[in-house]
Amino acid sequence: MKTKLSIKILLTFLTPILFPAIVLAAPREVTLFPNSARVTDVTRISPQTMPQGRFKAVVTLPAQALPDSLTTRLDPNSPLKIEDQSWKQISRQDDGRIGDLRRQIQQAKTERIGIAAAIQSLETQLQFWQSQAKAKAKSAEETVGLAAQIGKSVKKDTQEKLALEPELERLDKKIRELQEEMTRTAGQKETLWEVTLMFSGSAVREANLTLIYTLNGCGWLPLYRLDARPRDGVILFGWEAEIWQGSGIDWNQVDTELATLQPHSALTPPDMPPWIIRPRPEPRLMKARQKSDVMAAPAPGAALYAEAQDAEPREARQSTYAVWTLGKKTIPAGSRQRLKIREETWQADFVHLLRPSLTSQAFVHASVKLPEGSEAPSGMATFLIDGAVLGKRPFSFAGQEGTFSFGIDPLVTAQSLLLSRKSGEKGLIVDRQTQEWIWRTEIRNAGTSPIRVRLEEPLPQPRDERIRITFQLEPEPSEKTPSEMIWLMEIPQGQKRSLSTTIRLDAPKGLELDFGWRR
């Protein structure tokens, strides 16, 4: 009895040394970047006494953590001092969620085997009945009976087979989705990082340990919604973030931030390549392949220079990206979820842009001028007019002012018709050539509300001082640039407007002219 008691007491003292307590770190603060996350964990450790007055503690990190990025620190008033940290991969425990997914996958596979076997059995029966159809009956009555029996059996087996095939497809899809979810939940690896920390100083029962590290398999994607309301003169702007994490651990009530720029890290700066100036070697004839190889080769030090750009100090990079604080969020492992970032109403000036020399279609443009600067990182946006979806395309915005296109308004058109084109000669000795174009442009608003229109037409640009061009424009354009004529006008609902453009050209007779794309 005393022997057993002595062994029990001995194991009580030796267990912390031989099998130190492993602490699973759980995030408290997370900054999500587009394709990774910076995670801050604060955990309580119980350092175990080691020989020579040293102490040891073990914590674990997810498989997708980058151990090289790990920074650890103790409270400033802690009697302990971190002397060393090391890490190794260990097999992960099959936690509850992963175990549940494994059971669901196995159950679905078992069910699939049963259905596949049933389908194979029905196919065998169908082959049997098809072979019986070739058998010779002894009488006409027996032939009729056999045909009826075969037809009835084939119909029954075919119906059962057709009913089972969709179920087989459903199970295949379910197995595939469960396997994908397990991959995300398990962090794509069946391992964890075991981090061992060695301390010096005075013994303590517990201490707070802060761990900061980079985690792959996480990220976020901005999603936008721009709903134009031309009648109200506003754009309803919505911004959501789709976030995900595959650490294998659910993040419960984590202080969450979003950042727009992927972080970089480096312990040492890149080597400085020598700057050498010397005479350029004489050019030599080379084969085409050799020449292309030389042209494709990077300049000396180019890779180091590129690395230097990436290794820019973190303090300098802080001014180049924005961070949004979302507060405390719960983010389950493996799942994607959307979080609302911002909803705003932007005052906007709407105009229908028309270029009738190119197309009869009218494009709705909206210009905004915000009271304060705003930033929306590059992402996908859904564009709408009055709640009707127009489509999706990439979107980004920075600053206070911007112009956005909301596609075509089918109720507004502009038709440009060439009424006349004349060419001729003039002068006493017929030494000049002339050209005259007359266009009529008709703008129609078939909508139920008035619109503002910006109509743009090309302005011919002579490239020879001997070419003279004159215009007759009704009405006169609101603006002129070196390359465009611009008309700004209001068109009431159900109304139309017309304008006339006459362009005359005069040039020496012997001067060959290229009249460009608009003739």
Asked if 220 contacts 38 with a C-beta cutoff of 8 angstroms, the reply is no
Average pLDDT estimate for 422-441: 80
C-alpha span between 412 and 237 (Å, rounded)? 25
Instruction: Give the pLDDT of residue 228.
Output: 94
Residue 161 or residue 6, greater confidence: 161
Percent of the chain topping pLDDT 70: 78
**DSSP-H helix ranges across 312-369:** 314-317
pLDDT at 289 over 60: no
Instruction: Give the pLDDT of residue 157.
Output: 77
C-alpha span between 12 and 19 (Å, rounded)? 11
Instruction: Give the pLDDT of residue 312.
Output: 31
Instruction: Give the pLDDT of residue 51.
Output: 87
CB atoms within 10 A of CB 425: 11
State which H helix or E strand residue 403 sits in.
Answer: strand 388-426
Instruction: Give the pLDDT of residue 269.
Output: 72
Instruction: Label residue 5 by pLDDT band (50, 70, 90).
Output: very low
pLDDT at 8 over 80: no
Residue with tokens 């946006």: 381
Instruction: Give the pLDDT of residue 510.
Output: 84
Average pLDDT estimate for 90-111: 78
Instruction: Label residue 146 by pLDDT band (50, 70, 90).
Output: low
Instruction: Give the pLDDT of residue 124.
Output: 83
pLDDT at 128 over 60: yes
Closest by Cα among 36, 185, 18, 226 to 96: 185
C-alpha span between 358 and 99 (Å, rounded)? 63
pLDDT at 154 over 80: no
Weakest-pLDDT range from 16-25, 31-40, 207-216, 412-421 = 16-25
Weakest-pLDDT range from 3-7, 53-57, 343-347 = 3-7
Give the total residue count for the chain: 519
Average pLDDT estimate for 452-471: 92
Selection from 117-126, 235-244, 272-281 with the highest mean pLDDT: 235-244
Asked if 187 contacts 248 with a C-beta cutoff of 8 angstroms, the reply is yes
Average pLDDT estimate for 149-157: 76
Weakest-pLDDT range from 48-62, 253-267, 305-319 = 305-319
Instruction: Give the pLDDT of residue 316.
Output: 30
Instruction: Give the pLDDT of residue 73.
Output: 92
Instruction: Label residue 393 by pLDDT band (50, 70, 90).
Output: very high
State which H helix or E strand residue 337 sits in.
Answer: strand 336-354
Instruction: Give the pLDDT of residue 14.
Output: 40
pTM of structure:
0.60
Which tens digits make up the pLDDT trace of 14-54? 434 444 444 455 688 999 998 899 999 988 899 999 888 89
State the chain's mean pLDDT as an integer: 80
Instruction: Give the pLDDT of residue 239.
Output: 93
Instruction: Give the pLDDT of residue 484.
Output: 92
Which tens digits make up the pLDDT trace of 299-330? 333 333 333 333 332 323 344 567 888 889 98
List the structure tokens of 38. 């910076």
Which residues does 330 contact at the CB level (< 8 Å), separation at least 6?
250, 251, 252, 253, 254
Instruction: Give the pLDDT of residue 192.
Output: 82
Characterize the bridge pairing of strands 207-215 and 65-74. antiparallel
pLDDT at 402 over 80: yes
Weakest-pLDDT range from 116-120, 214-218, 254-258 = 116-120
pLDDT at 352 over 80: yes
